[in-house]
Amino acid sequence: MEKHIEVIGIDHGWSNMKTATQIFTTGVKEITTEPAFYDDVVELDGKYYKVGGKRLEVRDTKVENDNFYLLTLAAVAKELN
């Protein structure tokens, strides 16, 4: 059986997320209703999040909450698209 491995490098900056072909702002905002359009939207555990837009505030670490996890999911999806 032949295996296909895809390697995706992601730079988790405070201002921008960067992959080989994508750059987008580190903004994350929860959407309280199901969106009409799914461009730049991540769905996780039944909740919707708009990524991009206004950048996140700089904190001591990037693992205090799920924002950079959501941004990582968005970066992988954008790169695979």
pLDDT of residue 57: 93
Is the confidence at residue 70, as pLDDT, over 90? yes
| pTM of model > 0.85 | yes
> Do strands 28-31 and 41-44 pair parallel, antiparallel, or not at all (unpaired)?
unpaired
Q: For residue range 11-51, what is the model confidence (pLDDT) as tens digits?
A: 999 999 999 999 999 999 999 999 999 999 999 999 999 99
Q: How far apart are CA 16 and CA 30, in angstroms?
A: 18
pLDDT of residue 1: 74
pLDDT of residue 48: 97
Q: Is the dihedral of CA 73, 53, 12, 80 positive or negative?
A: positive
